[in-house]
Structure 1
Amino acid sequence: CCKSPDTALAEDNGISTLSLWFVSIDQRTESPVNMELINFKSHVLGGALSHVLQVSYLSVLELRTFVSLALFVLCSAVFMILTQHRALANSHGVNSEEEWEMVQRKGQQFTLNGQPFYVNGFNTYWMMTLAADNSTRGKVTDVFQQASAVGLTVGRTWAFNDGQWRALQKSPSVYDEDVFKALDFVVSEAGKYKIRLILSLVNNWNDYGGKAQYVKWGNASGLNLTSDDDFFTNPTLRDFYKSHVRTVLNRVNTFTNITYKNDPTIFAWELMNEPRCPSDPSGDKLQSWIQEMAVFVKSLDAKHMVEIGLEGFYGPSAPARTKFNPNPYAAQVGTDFIRNNQALGVDFASVHVYPDAWISPAVSDTFLEFTNSWMQAHVEDAETYLGMPVLFTEFGVSAHDPGFNTSFRDMMLNTVYKMTLNSTRKGGAGAGSLVWQVFPQGAEFMDDGYAVYLTRAHTASKIISLQSKRLAIFNSLCGWRCKWGCKKKNHTALDALLSHDDEL
């Protein structure tokens, strides 16, 4: 059933192969070797490799020539270096031989190389814009450096800027190559820091153009459109969007020479940031758009996951669940969490958590109570009705809220992280969360009130880092179980970290 860890480690590192190589040399030798070999083994080699050398001690002593000894020493040193490199990679949650594969979805979990992959992530929406200017490009590197330092593994950012300042898409299918190279830089830099990206493809809101800009382009081309929601129904605007999707997915990164649709740095494609279609509370218009576009993205790229970008509001298909909505209006904006995510081509559900924007701007314990019930409801629905992971892709609290203080923000972080961990420990659909948003110093002019400056928000940074460590330990335990076929996993290390609620 289960191999012992020592046996598995030896086989996994290729050491049994090295031992066979030693034997093949032994069979061709007759004379003993200098004891310096054993001193080399004692002082240089270690771990599993040293164990193999002890087993092969008698046969190794019969090596006859200096050449054989030199080859032996050289090969041993190489294997030692490779083993240590692999151990270092594994200590960061990455397998050195499979260190940058696509994250996939299997049932209600994300997987990497067949093992569960849980997300502690962040948002920084403006990275392409700042990367387009050499004077601010370094801020993008700062974001990834600081996010990596606290163990964040997935970032979310915009792969759109339609007709605005520093536009990526200046008009339908017309692009600014310098801005596209800025997006290339963002993707390349993320890969350097082993951070994967969710790339959002258009905005519901007017910021960075959004669906309103597509309607303007449509009217400029001779259409007579009267609502921003025509974005979802007009065939010409649908084609404009598809053209943008096709261009981004087929883009060859000028820094890495990797086509976006083949790049494992990309975690998933997001159809739209916070789609809403309030002109049709039934949800039929938006549902039709989601179905068409999810399938279209998959037709171009079957390798990457797709998610919608929803806030998570319940709609007409699940009237009993609308009680979890933050307000009555949420059921009238044309979105429908369960129905929307049942569309063909959607791999996982996204949910946002903004009690200050949806309930009241005044900070109160109601925020935390709502967050608990909101998250729990969506985890249950992802398990019961969808059979897919749910990722809480935005959450935060604004410094502009009346009564805001950093202690309350820390409480919000702890609440979200505890909810996701509770699901993770049970193997549930709660796959992780992404805080809105991580900022480096010097980018204050982009701050919308939700910025978390990791280098100076020391308590928040500690909380975020602790969550990363917990998920890394859990992933490691899952990996040990899966790699060696064990049905039981030792939760000792994880339980020790979870035993103190004041640290959560």
Structure 2
Amino acid sequence: MLKGEPLFVAGVNNHYLPFGSPAEVTRVLDDAVAMNANVVRTFIQPVIGSLDGTTPTIWNWRSTADSSNLNVHGVVMMAWDPIRARMVVNDGPDGLQRIDFLLDEARKRGLKVILAFLDFWSYTGGAQQMRAWYGSDDEYSFFAKDPRTIADYKRWVKTVITRVNSINGVSYAADPTIFSWELMNEPDIHPAPLLATWLNEMAVYVKSLDRNHLLASGHSNPTGEFPDMAISKIDFGTWHGYPRFNGITPEQMTDRISAFCSMSVAFNKPVLLEEFGWSKAHANQLDVYGSWMQALYNSDCAGWVVWRLVSRQDSGLFPADPVDGFDIHNDGGQLWTLMQSAAKKQIDKQAKVEALSAP
């Protein structure tokens, strides 16, 4: 709900919003508006070892590729201080001020932002870099059970939530531009009881700092069981759908849309399909997306957030997408037009619900 009226989400993911150049960030936001989107989703990143290199960075922080392909241009959100043997947070121009800029520019365009506090994966450090600070090679459980990483995560969360935007003076905890927080992008924590314990503890902690915003786990929930939705402090469910990675066909993905979205009824909480993609390498990409968008429109889901919208880099070119083939560009092409129409239809769905509920 927004101002007492139903809100259906037509959204886009973009991973380089925290570290792209100001022009690259605003191009993405402008393209989101042009696509009729009302929500953008990103993760707060990157995380490195130490600036002096004595504590290794486990990913290629010095990449000279474009922003879309993880050249972060020296941006750092968190790092290890080897002298004091502790995490340090960068709140400067190449740190959290980048999030200030993102939120302020989104506000100007009437966009809402889903912010995941952290990424689980190591592409730009994330939780994997944080456990590596302590010499662990345990990818799936160390972060969620070691007292040091738990303390680091809570300190980071508190720093973000209690931050005051350096551009507009608005506290993050009171910023209506923030659609929701997410505990982490795809927290693939094992075993399941450890995941449940960590999610519950961190959800309670976030809500103790901020009761103004929605909270989701950010979990991909690939089996459709949604154990996170049983946690009282989690406000809505999330799932990610990629036939390539889930070992299913596009037709089975369509079936999942109906089944997984219906969990909103079971838990009496909204559900978002907040990542999905089918590669352009497949000749039937347009047909598949068309089928999925219609299924989502007819489903119990509160909306969708497609992976991923990317815009022209500072080179003037769209980034190469040789790996996944999921990229969506504002290029006037058939996929762009399809997603524009699907987002507009989602907005029209909102208007229809509002009309039906009017006295």
Question: TM (normalized to structure 2)?
Answer: 0.85
Alpha-carbon distance change, 464 to 292 in structure 1, aligned in 2, over 3 angstroms: same
* Alignment partners' CA distance in 1, 2:332 and 2:14: 16
Aligned pair 1:175/2:90, yes or no? yes
CA deviation string 1:114-171 (max 9, x = no partner) = 11110110000111111xxxxx320111111111012100010112321163221123
Aligned pair 1:413/2:289, yes or no? yes
Which stretch has the larger CA shift, 137-146 or 345-354? Answer: 137-146
Counterpart code for 1:373: D
Shift of 1:446: 7.0
CA deviation string 1:384-429 (max 9, x = no partner) = 2x11111000011234xxx524xx2222321221122112xxxx3x
Counterpart code for 2:344: K
Contact 2:222 2:246 in 1 (8 A): no
Aligned pair 1:150/2:32, yes or no? no
Which protein has greater RCO, CA pairs closer than 8 Å, 6+ apart? 2
Out of 306, 310, 323, the residue aligned to residue 215 of structure 2 is: 306
Contact 2:9 2:39 in 1 (8 A): yes
Contact 2:27 2:311 in 1 (8 A): yes
Out of 324, 347, 352, the residue aligned to residue 477 of structure 1 is: 352
2:162 maps to which residue? 250
* Alignment partners' CA distance in 2, 1:472 and 1:375: 19
Contact 1:173 1:240 in 2 (8 A): no
1:380 maps to which residue? 262
Alpha-carbon distance change, 412 to 190 in structure 1, aligned in 2, over 3 angstroms: farther
Aligned pair 1:467/2:342, yes or no? yes
Two-structure CA RMSD over aligned residues (Å): 1.9
State how 1:362-401 maps to structure 2 within 5 Å: 367-384=249-266, 386-399=267-280
Counterpart code for 1:472: I
Out of 12, 17, 23, the residue aligned to residue 127 of structure 1 is: 17
Identity %: 27
* Alignment partners' CA distance in 2, 1:142 and 1:152: 14
2:47 maps to which residue? 162
CA deviation string 1:212-232 (max 9, x = no partner) = 21112234xxxxx45232101
* Alignment partners' CA distance in 2, 1:170 and 1:308: 24
- In structure 1, the gaps of 5 or more residues are 1-110, 131-135, 220-224, 315-320, 322-336, 360-365, 486-504
Counterpart code for 2:341: L
Which stretch has the larger CA shift, 436-445 or 189-198? Answer: 436-445
State how 1:89-128 maps to structure 2 within 5 Å: 111-128=1-18
1:186 maps to which residue? 102
Which stretch has the larger CA shift, 460-469 or 440-449? Answer: 440-449
Out of 107, 123, 132, the residue aligned to residue 207 of structure 1 is: 123
* SS in structure 2 at match of 1:218: coil
Structure with more of its chain in helix, by fraction: 1
Question: TM (normalized to structure 1)?
Answer: 0.61
CA deviation string 1:302-354 (max 9, x = no partner) = 0101111111123xxxxxx7xxxxxxxxxxxxxxx332221121000000011
State how 1:75-86 maps to structure 2 within 5 Å: none
* Alignment partners' CA distance in 1, 2:328 and 2:129: 32
State how 1:317-336 maps to structure 2 within 5 Å: none
* SS in structure 1 at match of 2:339: helix
CA deviation string 1:55-96 (max 9, x = no partner) = xxxxxxxxxxxxxxxxxxxxxxxxxxxxxxxxxxxxxxxxxx
Counterpart code for 2:305: L
Shift of 1:381: 2.3
- In structure 2, the gaps of 5 or more residues are 49-56, 62-74, 81-86
Counterpart code for 2:78: Q
Contact 2:228 2:237 in 1 (8 A): no
Q: Which has the larger radius of gyration?
A: 1
